[in-house]
Amino acid sequence: MDQFLSRPLLEHLLFIVFISMICVLILARFTLFKTTDKRSLVGSFYYDPVVALTIAVTTYSYFASNYNSYTPLIIPLALYLCASSLFFWALKTTRELKFALSKSPEKLVTTGAFLFVRHPYYTSYILTWTASCLVYSSPLLWATLFYLTGFYLYSARQEETSFLQGKHSNDYRFYKQTVGMFLPRIAAWTSSPLEK
């Protein structure tokens, strides 16, 4: 117990931020991102257990780890904080929309977090799982990160197909050219409006 309590304060802070973020993600998963149609229900069978495994391994790793340096913990903490900021920013931007409740997109959102990345929710999840991998470096965590990133990529492409086949198709094509899927396109910011 003394060894656990003598760990760096930053490691405890890191875990508190992780647990707080996970609580918010779980709350959002069951209140905002409900699975109602067959496709999203099937997807949740491939997604939810892997997320639960990632959370369990991260939590176990926290109690089983033996960190004694502040340096490597700063980067994951920054990633957790960026992920939670991006997630809350996306929530604020889209609070009126019904995600995962309709088969066709009701509105094209290009403001707030969506001004920088097309899928800020997925980006925030990827940042969260990446931070866990960097802090605990478990092969199982890295495997779940690659699986979940693939899942987000597949889901994002499905959502984009819906946009490209819907009433917002022309606007979405332009949006897709100027805004990155999971990472910001810095080149789009530096070019002048006349070049576009």
pTM of the model: 0.86
If one counts every other C-beta atom within 10 angstroms of the C-beta of residue 161, the result is 10
Q: How many helices (H) and strands (E) does the chain have?
A: 8, 0
Please calculate the CA angle 62-132-16 and round it to the nearest 5 degrees.
55
129-138 core/surface letters (b: 16 or more CB in 10 A; e: else): bbbbbbbbeb
DSSP state of 33: S
pLDDT tens per residue, range 14-47: 889 999 999 998 888 888 777 677 777 777 888 8
In this predicted structure, what is the pLDDT of residue 195? Answer: 47
Q: Residue 121 pLDDT > 80, yes or no?
A: yes
Q: Residue 194 pLDDT > 70, yes or no?
A: no
In this predicted structure, what is the pLDDT of residue 46? Answer: 86
pLDDT band for position 66 (50/70/90)? low
- Structure tokens that stand for 19 in this block: 């647990």
In this predicted structure, what is the pLDDT of residue 1? Answer: 59
Q: What fold is seen in the domain 2-183?
A: Four Helix Bundle (Hemerythrin (Met), subunit A) (1.20.120)
Cα–Cα distance measured from residue 122 to residue 108, given in angstroms and rounded to the nearest whole number: 17
Mean pLDDT, rounded, of the chain: 83
pLDDT band for position 191 (50/70/90)? low
pLDDT tens per residue, range 129-181: 999 998 888 899 999 999 999 999 998 998 899 889 888 889 999 999 999 99
Range of lowest pLDDT (38-42, 46-50, 54-58, 60-64): 38-42
